[in-house]
Structure 1
Amino acid sequence: MKQVYRSKAAYVMAWVWLVFVALNVVDLIVRFSGKSSLVALAVLAALTALVYAVALRPATVLTEEGLVGRNPFRTTFLPWASIEDVSVSHSINVRHGDDQVLRLWTPMSSARERAKAQRRGTPAKQRGRFATEPVLSKGEQAAAEAFAGKTHADWVGDQIRDRAESAKRRDEQAGPARVTWSYDSIAVLAVALVLVIVAIVA
């Protein structure tokens, strides 16, 4: 089963930005005023290319065959059995091959999110003599225990580690990593660059 993890906040903000850009592009085309409109279009294109590469494209994808790390300009595929270790700090770091490390762009854990996770893992203090706590179902209790003290990045790191260990127990082949360039990000940047050049030359 394919699972895709990314920064929800960055993803939502990127789509908000794209809607904003679309409205502005329509307005600039309708009220086209020469060079100033071209400059505005070039600025919007450059910022949109950056937003696409940094916020929309990055994703961590778990497939049956292995881990796919989509970073802004490269995509790395790692067979599960080739993964040697997974550590989580600000980002998820996957060690593979000859001490090579794949740093996943998403999900990341900020200091604020980690502090919140630590508070969530600490038992709540009882207040008052007759204080009562809401009764959680078994499913809710299991979820609370699984996420206690963990950020989203920690949880995804655990999923990667579990799949890698399962693959090794099944004696799967530890194939080499496959790295490819992100042609979509390069194409978006190329279009933005062309618009910037047109705005400068016109």
Structure 2
Amino acid sequence: MTSPTPPAEPTYADRTFRSPAGVVGGVLLLVLICWIGGDAALRGHGRVPWLALAGMLTAVPLVVAFTLRPVVFANDRRIRIRNPFRTITVPWTEVADLRAGYSSELFTEGGTKYQMWAVPVSLRQRKRAARRQSRQSVDDPYGRTSVHADVRDSKARMATADRIMADLRELVERAKTGAAAGAAKSAESQEASPSSVSVRWAYELIAPAVVGAVLLVVLFATG
């Protein structure tokens, strides 16, 4: 008689954080580049079509890298930061701190800093949130007790970057608490979760941008 198979550990979908304004701006830029560059490539004369193609080969990967590509994926095990030219995967146990000053930054236990391009910091939003909190404190000078306070309501009054960082800090605390409570894991579960920081370069965007830039330099130099 075979023993029953233990239930598999539940998996949860990644939470995704990105800048909607960056995505919209990137799409508009791509449309503009393809419109102008395509028109020059089809209707231009002499060296113009080649210059247009080389310019598009340079510009399109850069626009994709800085607008559409940046995103942060987070689940109960790790955070994956997809920046313009790199993808950094960090298990929560290796995260030392998360800060949102003039930019959103992650610090590892080894002291390495990684910026999160997908979570831009808006000082204007932060000032508006501070004014709302100031008005609320004037309207309710005694405040609400911790029994009646709503944490979700306080988060809703934060700037977008600060709210995202607060959510990520909660995931860090939850993961580190769970790691401390379950230090004696099975070897299989340890292999399933990432144990160190990994960095992958986006050569699929770097290569065409470099080729396009080289073509532009050659075309201008031989013109």
The TM tier, using the shorter chain, reads 0.7 to 0.9
Residue in structure 1 matched with residue 144 of structure 2 by the alignment: none
What amino acid sits opposite 2:216 in the alignment?
A: V
- Counterpart in 2 of 1:179? 199
Mapping 1:18-167, distance limit 5 Å:
18-123=30-135, 144-148=153-157, 150-167=158-175
CA–CA separation in structure 2 for the residues paired with 1:64 and 1:88:
21
1:158-184 per-position Cα deviation (integer Å, ceiling 9, x unaligned) = 121111111111116782211111122
The CA deviation at 1:61 is 1.4
Of all paired residues, the percent bearing the same amino acid is 27
Kindly state the Cα deviation for residue 81 of structure 1 after the two structures are TM-superposed: 1.6
Q: What is the alpha-carbon distance in structure 1 between the residues aligned to residue 114 and residue 156 of structure 2?
A: 24
Whole-angstrom distance in 1 between the partners of 2:167 and 2:195: 20
Indicate how the Cα distance of structure 1 residues 168 and 106 shifts in structure 2: closer, same or farther if over 3 A, else same.
same
Deviation at 1:143, TM superposition (A): 5.1
| Structure 2 unaligned residues grouped into runs of 5+ | 1-12, 140-149, 183-189
Gaps of 5+ in 1: 127-140
Q: How many residues align?
A: 187
Residues 49 and 192 in structure 1, CA contact (< 8 A), matched pair in contact too = no
Q: CA deviation at 1:144?
A: 4.2
Higher Cα Rg: structure 1 or 2? Answer: 2
Alignment partners' CA distance in 2, 1:183 and 1:89: 30
* Alignment equivalent of 1:169, drawn from 149, 164, 177: 177
- Give the whole-Å Cα distance in 1 for the aligned partners of 2:102 and 2:120: 6
How far apart are residue 198 of structure 1 and its match? 5.5
Give TM-score scaled by structure 2 length: 0.73
Q: Is the 8 A contact 1:82 1:97 kept in 2?
A: yes
Query: What letter corresponds to residue 99 of structure 1 in structure 2?
Result: G
1:133 is aligned to none
8 Å CA contact retained: 1:87, 1:93: yes
Q: Over aligned residue pairs, what C-alpha RMSD do you find?
A: 2.5
Give every structure 1 segment of 4 or more consecutive aligned residues whose post-TM-superposition deviation is greater than 4 Å. Answer: 141-144
Alignment partners' CA distance in 1, 2:90 and 2:61: 27
- Name the TM-score, length of structure 1 as normaliser: 0.79
Structure 1 CA distance, aligned partners of 2:52 and 2:161?
A: 37
